Structure 1
Amino acid sequence: MKKWYKNIYIIILIIFGVWMIFFDTNSFINHNDVNQEQNKLEEEKEYYKKEIIKDKKAIKKLSDKDGLETFAREKYYMKKENEDIYIIEYQDSLKTKDNE
């Protein structure tokens, strides 16, 4: 019985396997990198789909006159004539040197 390391077919098979796993253009390592990149891009795709849905809701809300008025009052502190606005700030929402 011949030793396995003296068999030329086994040696060629081992060399071929090592070549395909590490050195070939389509190696296992390259496939792994491409799969990780694909997973990352799929996650980004889902994130952006959710952001698009959220933005569409905001646009729909701002297309209404009442929604636009509410946005202007909350973000830019706009007011109607003969109306006073009081801004209440809590201690934890103020910017101080400690929490900057």
Structure 2
Amino acid sequence: MIVEFEAELWEWDARRGDSWVFVSLPVEPSEEIRELTAGTRRGFGSVRVRARIGTTAWRTSIFPSGDGPYVLPLKRAVRTAQGLGLGDTAAVSVELLDAP
């Protein structure tokens, strides 16, 4: 399963000093991911993915945010390479690696 979407970069309120920056996946694909990966999720409910923003691709995990959408962490190297900052909107592609 591949999910392509545009989302605004946001900072996790609880860890502002640590610069934890994320984008949220859309709600409907998040629900589908929950169904597809039931029983195969990893620690903290994470799901392994291959992500891409612009010319930068990397392997990471997405994490559930309660009953809401999954969130994708964006490390500083990705943000720097693509010239992205908080509040910017990015075109994102996420491919599930744990889906059956």
TM-score (norm 1): 0.18
Larger Rg: 1
Question: Which has more strand, going by share of residues?
Answer: 2
TM-score (norm 2): 0.18
Question: Which has more helix, going by share of residues?
Answer: 1
